[in-house]
Amino acid sequence: MSTNDSLQTRDALAVVHGLTNLSAHAQRGASVMQSGKGVWVQDIHGRDYIEAMSGLWCIALGYGNERLADVAHRQMMELAYYPLTNHKSHPRVIELAEKLLSMAPVPMSRIWFASTGSEAIDCAARLSWYFWNALGQPEKKKFISHQLAYHGNTIASASLSGVSYAHEKFNLPLPGFLHVSTPHFSRHAHPGETEDNYSDRLIADIEKLIHKEGAHTIAAFFVEPVMAAGGIVIPPARYYEQLQILLKKHDILLVCDEVVTAFGRTGKMFGSTTMQLQPDLLVCAKALSSAYIPISALMICSRVYEAIERQSGELGLFGLTMTYSGHPVASAVALETLKIYDELHIVDHVQQVGPSLVSGLMNLRSHSLVKEVRGIGLLAGVELAPNYGAKCARIAEEEGLIVRAIGDTIAFCPPMIISELEVRELLKRFTNALNRL
Ligand SMILES: Cc1ncc(COP(=O)(O)O)c(C=O)c1O
């Protein structure tokens, strides 16, 4: 047995994998990746792949970025760790918070830091409760989100997620987490319904739910501007406009989960701008550090922050704390990442190459197995005929292309630094995979 083969076996005997059939894994073993450069990764057998999913929607600057490695090294040597508790701080977290506030898609007041998207979503839920308690409305406790939404996998964020795999046998969702219909026109519209009529119907259903539960019991509505792990779902133009009117009318907070969409992915710096959302709370992660180190951020508007500040003054303490909140090394890497996005004019770049990816995939609509192609910026999904998704992803991997099958939708979310030439190579490999299906 070669060292490389034994790595596959050792993995199966030692590591637990998420979103994986664990029984099948014990038989099949892992695809073990060894190194990466730009949009490319190489496995332990020396085979090259285009990482068309940025890992898990995250390695936005691609692999092997020396500046990010250098800045982490420098920060580790200067001040490897410092907490933010008991009035303590450090320069990098201050600079990062200021930078994020200057970039925010709507005016925001403060930034809370955590390590993962799930944690920051969890904090958004907890801050919503804290906020309504501060306003003397403790009954405002329930949350609404979409079926098929993915908001993470801690207990609260998994409850917000609308996917059965995060709930089944895990005793979730918790009570008070409500899910409404996925805003996916082509899949769920009634025959003859226009996009506007469809949107009106969904909004009317949400209003019925709000009346049934009582607006005085609902704390916040969580949305992903574009639903990523739900299969690249781009809600109809009118949907969010009407939803926001409804939420304002019933005084329900809007939380935008921009864990995937922030920092250029949809062709604007924030998905909230692309989809014209005005959140009270906004969560970002993943591309915040281009996945070089875990860090997430929760942006808090002034109405919410002022209430939080006042209440913590009355209580004598703001009781939320996490050891790695605003970690100096993660903050330094995130700051450098944002600087690189500025220097690369990343939004302009996505606006340039995104259409090549999306239109290239659109050209495949004539293929007999392709049902629908959806895309925005550098985020796209190709929906295949039923039961072809997993097989297609497997064949694509044999063709040297890593994609993700979400049911029968093949998701694409390549590193945002992908070049036109690499987009063409990606399309070629995917077309080969489709033709082999
Ligand atoms: C939209 C969205 N929100 C939240 C999360 C959870 O982030 P994390 O896996 O960093 O906890 C994810 C992860 O994929 C996500 O796609």
Q: Each residue of 38-82: pLDDT tens digit?
A: 999 999 999 999 999 999 999 999 999 999 999 999 999 999 999
The two structure tokens encoding residue 340: 């690189």
pLDDT of residue 8: 86
List helix spans (H) across 135-275. Answer: 155-160, 185-188, 195-213, 237-249, 271-274
* pLDDT value at residue 321: 96
Residue 225, in any domain of the structure = yes
Q: Is the pLDDT of residue 1 over 60?
A: no
pLDDT of 4 reads 64
Indicate if ligand 1 lies below 6 Å from the C-beta of 116: yes
Is 312 exposed, middle or buried (CB count within 10 Å of its CB: 0-12, 13-18, 19+)? middle
Based on the domain organization, do 212 and 320 belong to the same domain?
yes
**Is pLDDT above 90 for 28?**
no
10 assigned to some structural domain: no
**Is residue 382 included in any domain, yes or no?**
yes
Is 2 a member of any domain?
no
Residue 321 sits in the same domain as residue 239: yes
Please work out whether the CB of residue 118 comes within 6 Å of at least one atom of ligand 1: yes
Q: Residue 404's beta-bridge partner residues?
A: 411
**pLDDT tens for each residue of 155-197:** 999 999 999 999 999 999 999 999 999 999 999 999 999 999 9
> Closest Cα to atom 13, ligand 1: which residue?
152
Comparing 27 with 299, the larger pLDDT belongs to: 299
* CB-based contacts of 219, cutoff 8 Å, min separation 6: 125, 128, 129, 131, 132, 140, 141, 142, 143, 252, 253
Identify the bridge partners of residue 255 per DSSP, sorted by sequence position. 222, 281
CB 257 near ligand 1, within 6 Å: yes
Ligand 1 pocket, 117 CB below 6 A? Answer: yes
Same domain, 287 and 349: no
Q: Is 7 within the bounds of a domain?
A: no
Do 386 and 338 have their domain in common? Answer: no
pLDDT digits (tens, 9 = 90+) for 101-147: 999 999 999 999 999 999 999 999 999 999 999 999 999 999 999 99
Closest atom of ligand 1 to 118 CA is 11
223 lines ligand 1 (CB under 6 A): no
Domain shared by 181 and 84, yes or no: yes
Among 321, 344, 367, the domain boundary falls at 344
Query: What pLDDT does residue 6 have?
Result: 87
CA atoms within 13 A on the CB side of 418: 35
Half-sphere exposure of 411 (CA within 13 A, CB side): 20
CB of 122 closer than 6 angstroms to any ligand 1 atom: no
Query: Quick one: average pLDDT of 369-391?
Result: 98
**Alpha helix ranges (H) inside 250-384:** 271-274, 302-315, 328-344, 346-362
Average pLDDT over residues 13-38: 94
pLDDT at 20: 94
Convert the pLDDT of each residue in 410-431 to its tens digit: 999 999 999 999 999 999 999 9
Distances in whole angstroms, Cα of residue 196 to Cα of each of 145, 189, 235: 21, 10, 11
Q: Which two tokens stand for residue 32?
A: 């073990």
% pLDDT > 70, the chain: 99
Residue 416 CA to ligand 1 centre (angstroms): 18
Q: Tell me the pLDDT of the chain averaged across its residues.
A: 97
Question: Once rounded to an integer, what is the mean pLDDT over residues 356-380?
Answer: 97
For the record, the structure tokens of 181 come out as 């219909």
Q: Is residue 83 part of a domain?
A: yes
The ligand 1 atom nearest the CA atom of 119:
11
Q: Identify whether residues 246 and 173 lie together within a single domain.
A: yes
Considering the domain architecture, whether residues 338 and 352 belong to the same structural domain is answered as: no
Rounded-to-integer distance, Cα 158 and Cα 173, Å? 7
Which DSSP string corresponds to 73-104?
Answer: HHHHHHHS-----TT---HHHHHHHHHHHHH-
Question: Residue 157 Cα, ligand 1 centroid: separation in angstroms?
Answer: 9
Q: Give this prediction's pTM.
A: 0.98
Residues 350 and 339 in one domain: no
Judge if 325 and 177 occupy the same domain.
yes
- How remote is the CA of residue 123 from the centroid of ligand 1, in Å? 13
- DSSP code per residue over 21-44: -HHHHHHH----EEEEEBTEEEET
Mean pLDDT value across residues 236-243: 96
CB 68 within 8 A of CB 338: no
Q: Which of 344, 367, 385 is the last residue of a domain?
A: 344
Amino acid letter for position 117: G
Q: Round the CA-based radius of gyration of the chain to a whole number and report it.
A: 22
Produce one character per residue of 128-144: b if its CB has 16 or more CB atoms within 10 Å, e if not.
bebbbbbeeeeebbbbb
3-state secondary structure of 375: strand
Query: What CATH number is attached to the domain comprising 120?
Result: 3.40.640.10
pLDDT reading at 3 higher than 70: no
**Residue 25 is assigned to a structural domain of this protein:** no
* 87 Rama class: left (phi>0) / alpha (psi -120 to 50) / beta: left
Which two three-digit tokens encode residue 211?
């009346």
- Domain of 36 in residue numbering reads as 31-64+345-436
Ligand 1 midpoint to CA 152 (Å): 5
Q: Do both 44 and 167 map to the same domain?
A: no
Q: How far apart are CA 34 and CA 14, in angstroms?
A: 18
Letter string b/e over residues 315-348, b meaning 16 or more CB atoms within 10 A of that residue's CB:
eeeeeeebebbbbbbbbbbbbbbbebbeeeebbe
d(CA 279, CA 257): 9
Return the closest-CA partner of residue 258 out of 230, 288, 235, 232.
288
Rounded to the nearest 5 percent, the helix, strand and coil shares of the chain are 45, 15, 35
The predicted pLDDT at position 5 comes to: 67
403 domain-assigned: yes
φ, ψ at 201 (rounded to 5°): -65, -45
**Separation of 285 CA from ligand 1 center, angstroms?**
8
Within 13 Å of residue 185, how many CA atoms lie on the same side as its CB? 16
Which pLDDT band holds residue 2 (cuts at 50, 70, 90)? Answer: low
Q: Report pLDDT digits (tens) over 394-411.
A: 999 999 999 999 999 999
- Whether the pLDDT of residue 366 is over 80: the answer is yes
Query: What span, in angstroms and rounded, lies between the C-alpha atoms of 147 and 315?
Result: 37
**152 CB less than 6 Å from ligand 1?**
yes
The CA 176 to ligand 1 mean position distance, Å, reads 21
| 316 and 356 together in one domain | no
SS3 110: strand
CA 5 – ligand 1 centroid, Å: 32
Number of domains in the chain: 2
> Among the atoms of ligand 1, which is closest to the Cα of residue 56?
14
Percent of the chain's residues with pLDDT above 90: 96
Three-state secondary-structure class, residue 108: coil
Q: Is 115 near ligand 1, meaning CB less than 6 Å away?
A: no
Check if 383 has its Cβ closer than 6 Å to any atom of ligand 1: no
Query: Within 10 A of 74 (CB to CB), how many other CB atoms are there?
Result: 12
CATH number at residue 394: 3.90.1150.10
Verify whether ligand 1 is closer than 6 Å to residue 104 (CB atom): no
Rounded Cα gap, residues 16 and 116, in angstroms: 19
Domain boundary among 294, 324, 344: 344
Looking at the structure, tell me whether residues 243 and 364 fall in a common domain. Answer: no
Q: What is the mean pLDDT of residues 333-339?
A: 99
- Is the Cα torsion angle 223, 146, 167, 133 positive or negative in sign? positive
| Residues contacting residue 20 through CB under 8 Å, at least 6 positions apart | none
